[in-house]
């Protein structure tokens, strides 16, 4: 879009909120405001900011402060590690930089509590370094206006938005440009109910034209990982004169379809192996044959893309041939033949680690 920077700066000049740290280019005041406003609304953070600059008017007075005093002033803002980091940073700036904030964002980022966002904000607002600041407001404004659909919570997305903002900032005063985009996002192009009808960009805004404002910015859904608790039963039987073991082919449509496993009790939460045995005994009518417990394994953890498996292997010895389960799907095979049947990696791990096939 032509003249994006010109339009948004002109809007900013007329509509910006008058905030004390915007009156000059003091890196200390800009840094202080950025630290206080992380995870805090401007109306709440403003009073804290004023109290801090009143009590600590410069980096030297803050570096000299006691932790107790800083925490007391910070009280109620939450995220207390911000206050702790702020004090460490003040001491670093005084001791290692003689009380002068470095101008280079790469140097600023080395200071405790200053990340890529804050370093770009200080460098551009205080020193006029041409570097874009990309925060939640910027993601929202740029994604909607330019129709950028790359999810913002991916590394590709972050890069794409940074590149777009770097391209747009060229030729404009960096501090003013950055503040203009952030302020426009905070006051106008808000997450909910943006003021589209009176917006200066509405004729060019991709999301408005395509009636898809609420779909921007795009975020990749976090994968929900489910926990599954599996209790496998290795039921051994020597009744027929050979050490036999029961296995079962999986026919259900899942990642293990067509593989073999042992009779299984599954639970959504962790249960005591003895409770799993009780369930198994009742499900497979083991009371009729008599059984003894040979061993209960440690828990095997196994991570899949959407599932975390927690498996325990319980070895039982039955006196007589086990009665078939309702779907008649159990196979009694020689233990040494287990090697011929395809099994999941989890079961393979257990078999190998425990030397089941001797
Ligand atoms: S038209 Fe609406 S969505 Fe587009 S920039 Fe303006 S306020 Fe944001």
Ligand 1 contact via 37 beta carbon (within 6 Å): no
Residue 356 vs residue 309, higher pLDDT: 309
Q: What is the pLDDT of residue 283?
A: 84
Q: Quick one: which atom of ligand 1 is closest to the CA of 194?
A: 7
Contact (CB, 8 A) for 244 and 331: no
Q: What is the pLDDT of residue 320?
A: 72
Q: Please check the confidence at residue 325 and state whether its pLDDT lies above 60.
A: no
Q: What is the pLDDT of residue 80?
A: 84
- Mutating to test ligand 1, I would choose from 11, 146, 203, 205 the residue with most ligand atoms within 8 A of its C-beta, which is 205
Q: Average pLDDT of 40-57?
A: 94
Q: Please check the confidence at residue 240 and state whether its pLDDT lies above 90.
A: no
Which of 193-225 are b and which e, b meaning 16 or more Cβ less than 10 Å from the residue's Cβ? ebeeeebebeeebbbbeeeebeebbeeeeeeee
Question: What is the number of alpha carbons within 13 Å of residue 127 lying toward its C-beta?
Answer: 18
Residue 63 vs residue 22, higher pLDDT: 63
Ligand 1 contact via 144 beta carbon (within 6 Å): yes
Give dist(CA 154, CA 28) in Å, integer: 32
The band of 299, judged by pLDDT with boundaries at 50, 70 and 90, is very high
Per-residue pLDDT tens digits for 137-195: 999 999 999 999 999 999 999 999 999 999 999 999 999 999 999 999 999 999 999 99
Contact (CB, 8 A) for 166 and 134: no
- Catalytic residue, chosen from 29, 34, 160, 183, is 34
Q: Please check the confidence at residue 242 and state whether its pLDDT lies above 70.
A: no
Using DSSP's 3-state secondary structure scheme, residue 76 falls into coil
Per-residue pLDDT tens digits for 114-132: 999 999 999 999 999 999 9
CA 128–ligand 1 middle distance (angstroms): 28
For ligand 1, atom 4: residue with the closest CA: 205
Give dist(CA 230, CA 311) in Å, integer: 5
Q: Average pLDDT of 51-80?
A: 93
Q: What is the pLDDT of residue 230?
A: 96
Q: Is 34 an active-site residue?
A: yes
Ligand 1 contact via 212 beta carbon (within 6 Å): no
Q: What is the pLDDT of residue 288?
A: 65
């Amino acid at each position: 879009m032509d003249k994006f920077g010109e339009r948004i700066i002109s809007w900013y000049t007329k509509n910006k909120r008058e905030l004390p740290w915007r009156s000059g280019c003091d890196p200390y005041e800009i840094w202080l405001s950025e630290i206080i406003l992380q995870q805090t609304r401007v109306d709440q953070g403003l009073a804290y900011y004023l109290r801090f600059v009143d009590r600590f008017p410069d980096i030297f007075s803050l570096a000299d402060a006691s932790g107790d005093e800083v925490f007391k002033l910070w009280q109620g803002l939450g995220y207390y590690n911000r206050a702790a980091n702020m004090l460490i940073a003040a001491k670093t700036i005084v001791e290692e930089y003689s009380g002068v904030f470095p101008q280079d964002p790469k140097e600023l980022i080395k200071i405790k509590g200053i990340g890529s966002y804050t370093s770009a904000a200080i460098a551009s607002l205080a020193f006029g370094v041409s570097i874009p600041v990309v925060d939640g407001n910027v993601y929202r404004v740029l994604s909607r206006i330019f129709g950028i659909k790359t999810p913002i919570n991916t590394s590709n997305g972050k890069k794409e938005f940074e590149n777009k903002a770097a391209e747009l900032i060229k030729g404009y005063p960096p501090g003013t440009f950055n503040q203009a985009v952030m302020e426009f996002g905070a006051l106008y192009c808000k997450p909910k109910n943006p003021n589209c009808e009176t917006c200066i960009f509405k004729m060019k805004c991709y999301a408005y034209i395509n009636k898809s404002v609420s779909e921007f910015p795009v975020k990749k859904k976090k994968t929900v990982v489910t926990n599954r608790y599996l209790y496998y039963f290795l039921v051994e039987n020597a009744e027929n004169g050979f050490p036999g073991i029961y296995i079962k082919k999986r026919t259900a449509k899942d990642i293990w379809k067509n593989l073999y496993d042992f009779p299984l009790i599954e639970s959504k939460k962790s249960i005591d192996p003895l409770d799993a045995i009780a369930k198994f005994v009742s499900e497979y009518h083991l009371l009729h044959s008599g059984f003894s417990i040979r061993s209960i394994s440690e828990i095997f953890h196994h991570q899949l893309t959407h599932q975390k498996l927690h498996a325990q292997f319980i070895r039982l010895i039955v006196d007589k041939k086990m009665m078939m389960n309702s779907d008649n799907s159990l196979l009694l095979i020689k233990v040494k033949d287990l090697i011929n049947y395809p099994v999941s990696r989890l079961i393979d791990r257990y078999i190998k680690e425990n030397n089941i096939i001797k």
